[in-house]
Structure 1
C-alpha cells in the first residue's frame, strides 16, 4: 500500500497555450480507492498518465510515500496500470502475459510460478493459463490484464477505464470483482471512469473533474447528496438532478417558501428551509433528485419540508424496479421516480410528494450550493 500526494499538478502541452491540468491537489491515503470521474476531455486520463510517468507535468509534485517521483521514469515508480484496451501480448499465453513484468525484473522462476498461481487463483483464471488472448472472452481478458498488474505487487495500481469495452451485464459482474479484489487486498487504487455508477459503487472517495480542475472531492454520499455546485449535481445521478428556477418568498408565518407552477398554470406553495429566509425576494435554482419527487406516502405527510402538489404526468418510462415520470415545474421538464406498480397513464394528473429536506439550492450566477 502506498500514500499518493498530488501537489499543484499543472500540465500545458508545448505547442499549445491550453492548460490541461490546472493545479490539481489530491492526497490519497494507503489502501484508499479513489475514482477520477468527469466528461470526456476533462483531464482525468491526462492526470492518470502523469501519475504513471507516461506524460511529464509542467509543474507541481507527485509524491509516493512522501518521495517525489515527478522526474522518475515509469519503470522506477513501482506503479502497475490496467488499460482500457487490456494491452495483452497476442502471441503470449495467459501465463506468459502475467509473468512478463516479473521476468523483466529478473525475478527467480520459482517466485514467478508461485506468484502466477496465487494471482490466477485469486482471479479464478487458473484454468486459462495456457490459452492465448484471442481464445478468451472480454471479461477473461480483463482479468488477465488485472492479473498481470497484481502479480507485480507494486505500491500503487492505476485503472484507466478498464471496463468500458465490456457489455452492460459483464460490466456489472466485473465491477463486483474489482470491489471484492480491493476488499481482499486493501491496495491503493486510482481509477478513471466516465461511468458515474462505477464511481458511486466502487469508490471510497470521488474526484469530479471539469476542464482540468477538481470541482469536488468527497465520499460518494457527499458528492451525491451535498454537491458543491450545479455541475457536480447535474453530472452525478441518473436521471440527473432537476434544476428548477424559483423565487424565495415568505408566508404569513414568516417561513421561507416558494411557488411552483405545473403545466396547468396553477401555482402551489412549497415550504423551504428556514435558512433561506435571508434570500427572500431573490431568485435561486432549486435542485431536486428524481427520488425526491414521488407518489404520496402517508408516513411522510406530516414532515414540515415535504409538500404535496398535483401535476400532470406527461411521459412515463418504466424501467422494471421503478418508473421514471416527466412533469413540468415552472416551465422546466422535471423527472421523478414512481413505484413500478402505480396505476397511472401518461396525460393523467397525479398528487406528488416533494421532499425539500434533501434538496440543494444554488446561486444562479455562480452556480455554487449556497447551503454548504
Structure 2
C-alpha cells in the first residue's frame, strides 16, 4: 500500500499546442480506491499514464510514499497496471502470464508457484492455469490480467478502463470481483473509467475531470448529492439530473423560481430559504429523477407540477418517465405499478429538500447557509 500525491500536474504536447492536463492536484491515502471519471478526451488516461511513467509531465510533482518519481523509470516505480486490452502474452499459459513478472524479479521457483496458486485461488481461475489466452473468455482474460498484477504485490495498482471490453453481465460480475479484492487486500488503487456506475459503486472517492481540469473531488455521496457545478451534476447519475431554468422572484418574503412558458404563462416553484439575495437573477434548479414523485405525502401544495408524459421506459424496479412541463423535459422515477400512460398528464411533487441550485451565469452550485 502507498500514498500518492499529484501536485499541479501539467501535460502539454508542444507540436499540437494542446494542454491535456491543466494543474491537477490530488492526494490519495494508503489503501484508498480513487476513480478518475469523465468524458472521452478529458485527460484521465493521460493522467494515469503519467503516474505509471509511460508519459512524462510538463510540470508538477508525482510522489509515491513521499518519493518524487518523475525521473524514475516505470519498472522502478513499483506499480502494476491493468489495461482494457488485457495485454496477455498469447504464447504463454495462464500460469506463465501470472508468473512472468515474478520470474523477471528472479524469485525462486517454489515461491513463484505458491504465489501463482494464491492468486489463482483468489480469482477463482485455478482450473485455467494450463490454458492459453486464446482459450479464455473475455472475463477470464481480464481476471488473468488482474492476477498478473496482484502477483507482483506492488505499492500501487492502476486500472485503465479494465471492463470496457466486457458485456453488461460480465462488467457487473467483474466489478463485484474488484470490489471484493480491494476489501480483502486493502490495496491503493487508481482506476480510470467513463462509466459512472463503476465510479459510484467502486470508489472511496471520485475525481471528476473535464478538458484536463479537475471539476470535483469527493466521496460518491458528495459528487451525487452536492455537485460543484452543472457539468458534474449532469455527468453523474443515470438518468442525469434535471435542470429547470428560471428567474428568482421574492413575494411576501418568500423566494420563488419563476418559469415562463412559450405562451407567456407563468408558474412559480418555491425555493429554499436564503435565496432572497438572488432576486432578479437567473438560476438553475437541479432535480434528481427520484426526487420527482407521482403523488406525495408532503403538505406543500406549491411543490407540485403538472406535465404531459411523452415517454415511458419500464426498467423492472421502476419506470422512467419523460415529462414535459413549461417547455422543459424532465425525467422522473415512477413506481413500476404506476398506471400512467403516454399522452396523459401527471402531477408530480418536488422534494425541495433535495434540489440543488446553480448560478445561471457561472454554472457553479449556489451554497446556502444550510448546506
Q: 1:355 to 1:263 in 2, by over 3 A?
A: farther
What's the offset of the Cα at 1:218? 0.3
Task: Give the alignment of 1:56-135 within 5 angstroms.
Answer: 56-135=56-135
| 1:348 pairs with 2:347 | no
1:8-62 Cα distance to aligned partner (Å, 9 max, x none): 1111123122111111110000000000000000000000000000001111111
Give the secondary structure class of the aligned counterpart of 1:313. strand
What's the offset of the Cα at 1:290? 1.1
Which stretch has the larger CA shift, 317-326 or 98-107?
Answer: 317-326
How many angstroms apart in 1 are the aligned matches of 2:219 and 2:261? 35
What's the offset of the Cα at 1:273? 0.5
1:274 maps to which residue? 273
1:31 maps to which residue? 31
CA contact (8 A) 1:306 1:355 kept: no
How many angstroms apart in 2 are the aligned matches of 1:171 and 1:314? 32
Of 296, 301, 308, the residue aligned with 1:312 is: 308
1:148 maps to which residue? 148
1:301-342 Cα distance to aligned partner (Å, 9 max, x none): 13x598122222122111111111112233221111111110
Of 347, 359, 365, the residue aligned with 2:361 is: 365
Give the secondary structure class of the aligned counterpart of 1:286. strand
TM norm structure 2: 0.96
Which stretch has the larger CA shift, 328-337 or 221-230?
Answer: 328-337
What's the offset of the Cα at 1:81? 0.2
Give the secondary structure class of the aligned counterpart of 1:174. helix
Give the secondary structure class of the aligned counterpart of 1:366. coil
What's the offset of the Cα at 1:266? 5.6
Task: Give the alignment of 1:1-372 within 5 angstroms.
Answer: 1-252=1-252, 254-260=253-259, 267-298=266-297, 301-302=298-299, 307-371=303-367
How many angstroms apart in 2 are the aligned matches of 1:345 and 1:28? 49
1:184-232 Cα distance to aligned partner (Å, 9 max, x none): 0000000000000000000000000001110000000000110000110
Q: 1:93 to 1:264 in 2, by over 3 A?
A: farther
CA contact (8 A) 2:204 2:219 kept: yes
1:128-173 Cα distance to aligned partner (Å, 9 max, x none): 1000111111111110000000000000000000000000011011
CA contact (8 A) 1:98 1:151 kept: yes
CA contact (8 A) 1:272 1:305 kept: no
Q: 1:306 to 1:238 in 2, by over 3 A?
A: farther
TM norm structure 1: 0.96
1:82-129 Cα distance to aligned partner (Å, 9 max, x none): 000000001100000000000111111111111101110001001110
How many angstroms apart in 1 are the aligned matches of 2:265 and 2:10? 52
How many angstroms apart in 1 are the aligned matches of 2:296 and 2:323? 19
How many angstroms apart in 1 are the aligned matches of 2:203 and 2:60? 25
CA contact (8 A) 1:288 1:360 kept: yes
Give the secondary structure class of the aligned counterpart of 1:256. strand
Give the secondary structure class of the aligned counterpart of 1:81. strand
Which stretch has the larger CA shift, 5-14 or 259-268?
Answer: 259-268
CA contact (8 A) 2:98 2:147 kept: yes
* Structure 2 runs not aligned, ≥5 long: none
Q: Provide the aligned C-alpha RMSD in A.
A: 1.6
How many angstroms apart in 1 are the aligned matches of 2:341 and 2:147? 51
Q: 1:81 to 1:87 in 2, by over 3 A?
A: same
Give the secondary structure class of the aligned counterpart of 1:248. strand
What's the offset of the Cα at 1:297? 2.5
CA contact (8 A) 2:250 2:279 kept: yes
Q: 1:6 to 1:305 in 2, by over 3 A?
A: farther
